[in-house]
Structure 1
């Protein structure tokens, strides 16, 4: 049996890795030309074909140039120019298996598909071909430049999915059974694609884990882009931005998104103004807010599995100044919510939130993530939508926090850095359960409990009892 499997693609042959368990990995396959030089800030361009086998035995260059200091998931940065690439993990190049396409998170400004947590070996074991994709981040992917296509990062997702439709048969995948999945910004990407008429032919099912939407108004994204030009001292044109080093734009892009806000206003800007960079309602690819598009019936024929963790970002407030402990919950909530009625109703639904930090953390979680789960499920009331809740609290910090569920879905509890968030003995039975749900959904489009349309409110609870609940998200309803 060959140690270096070679598979043909329309652009040219690729040489991968045969692993100890017999599965194959093909890493860093370019799906578009390097977005450098004159191609920078353009829509993804075709790859130049090749004739000799392309080495696909190591992860390709990543748009993320340096790891995020506070990242929970290990997502390495890989140098190089050909950053629009993808990785394929397959049991065998023979057959026609369902395909899972993974879109990484990172707030649309960070992240990498080269994480060991995103390795597809467990899905391969269960008969699923897995693909993880890179895409342009931050300003490069989502900034607004007059005369240049908006939503370049979104166009990257579409081009990668077109590659899957064109090429995945050679890797043993079935292009007619593609599930797109992602977590955090990746989960938001899934919802964005689900609500886009132009993307409907590229996938058949969707999984959104802790999805965070962009849906930025174009006027706001353009204002932030103009501010970035000021900060780096260039004209707000494609020529002007191309003349500025990638490192400098990346370094100043978060500051630009704040539009001069400082202090508390800067801290709460994500709640009031949305993510710094992300998919833009451009009137072309994305014509309206994603929940509105879903309510109009776009994507209604595609099964959707979505949910969130109980306390996505509550742990952030564990390190808040000690003086926060002496600030009354009601006073602290005024900073993040202006409406007195909303604050009052939310507090009534969350009486068990003891302490200001815990209350603020849950409020932020509900505002960004948990209320969106209900909004999307309600918007798709007449479509197949299954909701889950992840409630297992890490023994490290006591919270069911952001990213904690990912190694359970991927059944990779023994991978590097997992113990840092789960402790040394995470419950394998929980990973078995969650991974089996994902596998069933990718194979058959049903995870095993009543959908929201059949029984509104029905939620599968992971890590708590009862396992099936009809009130798992009731405490987030005041924010709808």
Structure 2
């Protein structure tokens, strides 16, 4: 290992791996392990070290086991020091643009340990990539008497503060930091963009299929109290600390937490939000994110956002076959109870054929695609670029959730891409998406007209024409 693979951070020296074309530093802690007396507290400062710390393997992850149906292969690593990050840099000299990536997983699963997130394609194009971990589920977002809310959000802030202190030593420019993420990670980007406390930590954002939390605190508190009942403790800091981590994670997703039965369980996430997610706490998150953006928070920062056409339609492919024989107009009543809104949306989507396709697009519009338009319109006077990923997988037939991620990263050869994208996914599409991401991180402009200069204009990836003013019109009834 060459001597110049050692970097001295503010907290202490670390040694990375010199690879073909770049250097990787893995598992660097940005805060102390959230265990013992630090459990459920805000991220705590590190104890500095003097000996060179090995940063050649991924660090422990808040995710303790992988989800059985996860599309993106995000691994779990056991250990206590879970608040860590990974850096991929072209070289240790210079001041290159930086992309900080926040993984998805519904704010309750996922990790930065994935071949899909390897930084080699970004370092190849002159960008420093940082991937971060953060506390998940109840641990990160539950409401606890005696503990601060939004601990996962505070982890994002702590990681970004670490980047500001240290990234120059890794060849990055702290003044040119872009935050990016997918799904819950894309929601994290929007959340941070709408937070006054975060504005000094980055200069631009990319939200891919972003899903916001913005849970009412009362709802999160009720779920937390119910979880305390399930594990047999008081809903206090002392009570939850008395329960082993495994006991909490095993029970934090039980259906009874949602307060619904039968079909209501299936629609709860649409109507009431994800089980655990950022909370409107009156402190870090004083108001809903879109309201903050409409008030001008983050208006000086360029934003790139969009969604795939079908997002979660693929999940309905495994629904009981009888669903296919229920007329779409009738089946839609289970997801949208407001008659006038349901009829208006159905008219806008009358060209869609089949109950599965109709219900899948409704979920995509309700959770993801309508949010794209709401954010773009809220930021009407800010520089916002909108995209739409419309390439249907030859395997599933849908342009579904997560399918675009290996295209953005130009990682079509990574593990588990073939099962969702087929044997020969179009490299030219990966070239286009990755080039747009690199251009945005580098210059703050992905290469097509911004929404404010041409309202409604959208770059459509995977369909003709490439530019459209009506790409999200079918979602407008839900905006």
TM-score under structure 1 normalisation? 0.99
Alpha-carbon distance in structure 2 between the residues aligned to 1:353 and 1:232 = 46
Task: Specify the SS of the correspondent of 2:174.
Answer: strand
User: Could you list the runs of 4 or more consecutive aligned residues of structure 1 that deviate by over 2 angstroms after TM superposition?
Assistant: 256-260
Where do 1:357-436 residues align within 5 Å? 357-436=356-435
Q: 1:4·1:17 contact (CA, 8 Å) conserved in 2?
A: no
Query: C-alpha offsets along residues 361-384 of structure 1, whole Å, 9 cap, x if unaligned?
Result: 000000000000000000000000
Query: C-alpha offsets along residues 69-88 of structure 1, whole Å, 9 cap, x if unaligned?
Result: 00000000000000000000
Where do 1:77-476 residues align within 5 Å? 77-255=76-254, 258-476=257-475
Task: Specify the SS of the correspondent of 2:253.
Answer: helix
Structure 1 residues 4 and 255: CA distance shift in structure 2, 3 A: farther
Query: C-alpha offsets along residues 111-159 of structure 1, whole Å, 9 cap, x if unaligned?
Result: 0000110111101001000000000000000000112110000000000
- The offset of 1:260, in angstroms, is 3.2
Q: 2:183·2:210 contact (CA, 8 Å) conserved in 1?
A: yes
Alpha-carbon distance in structure 1 between the residues aligned to 2:4 and 2:383 = 42
Q: 1:3·1:17 contact (CA, 8 Å) conserved in 2?
A: no
Report the counterpart of residue 16 of structure 1 in structure 2.
16
Q: Does 1:2 align with 2:2?
A: yes
Query: C-alpha offsets along residues 334-360 of structure 1, whole Å, 9 cap, x if unaligned?
Result: 111111111111111111211111110
Task: Specify the SS of the correspondent of 1:93.
Answer: coil
- The offset of 1:259, in angstroms, is 3.4
Q: 2:383·2:452 contact (CA, 8 Å) conserved in 1?
A: yes
Alpha-carbon distance in structure 1 between the residues aligned to 2:454 and 2:403 = 28
Which consecutive unaligned segments of at least 5 residues does structure 2 have?
A: none
Alpha-carbon distance in structure 2 between the residues aligned to 1:409 and 1:272 = 30
Q: 2:98·2:174 contact (CA, 8 Å) conserved in 1?
A: yes
Q: 2:138·2:252 contact (CA, 8 Å) conserved in 1?
A: yes
- The offset of 1:247, in angstroms, is 1.1
Alpha-carbon distance in structure 2 between the residues aligned to 1:293 and 1:429 = 37
Task: Specify the SS of the correspondent of 2:252.
Answer: helix
- The offset of 1:420, in angstroms, is 1.2
Q: 1:257·1:277 contact (CA, 8 Å) conserved in 2?
A: no
Query: C-alpha offsets along residues 92-124 of structure 1, whole Å, 9 cap, x if unaligned?
Result: 010000000000000000000001101111010
- The offset of 1:261, in angstroms, is 1.4
Q: 2:226·2:257 contact (CA, 8 Å) conserved in 1?
A: no
Alpha-carbon distance in structure 1 between the residues aligned to 2:345 and 2:405 = 28
TM-score under structure 2 normalisation? 0.99
Q: 2:209·2:307 contact (CA, 8 Å) conserved in 1?
A: yes
Between 236-245 and 65-74, the greater mean CA deviation after superposition:
236-245
Alpha-carbon distance in structure 2 between the residues aligned to 1:365 and 1:257 = 25
Q: 1:224·1:256 contact (CA, 8 Å) conserved in 2?
A: no
Q: 1:305·1:387 contact (CA, 8 Å) conserved in 2?
A: yes
Q: Does 1:57 align with 2:56?
A: yes
Alpha-carbon distance in structure 1 between the residues aligned to 2:327 and 2:232 = 44
Task: Specify the SS of the correspondent of 2:121.
Answer: helix
Alpha-carbon distance in structure 2 between the residues aligned to 1:199 and 1:260 = 34
Q: 1:258·1:269 contact (CA, 8 Å) conserved in 2?
A: no
Where do 1:64-83 residues align within 5 Å? 64-83=63-82
Task: Specify the SS of the correspondent of 2:56.
Answer: coil
Query: C-alpha offsets along residues 172-212 of structure 1, whole Å, 9 cap, x if unaligned?
Result: 00000000000000000000000000000000000000000
Query: C-alpha offsets along residues 236-259 of structure 1, whole Å, 9 cap, x if unaligned?
Result: 111111111111111111116733
Task: Specify the SS of the correspondent of 2:476.
Answer: helix
Task: Specify the SS of the correspondent of 1:187.
Answer: helix
Alpha-carbon distance in structure 1 between the residues aligned to 2:362 and 2:133 = 31
Task: Specify the SS of the correspondent of 1:180.
Answer: strand
Alpha-carbon distance in structure 2 between the residues aligned to 1:149 and 1:257 = 25
Alpha-carbon distance in structure 1 between the residues aligned to 2:42 and 2:474 = 42
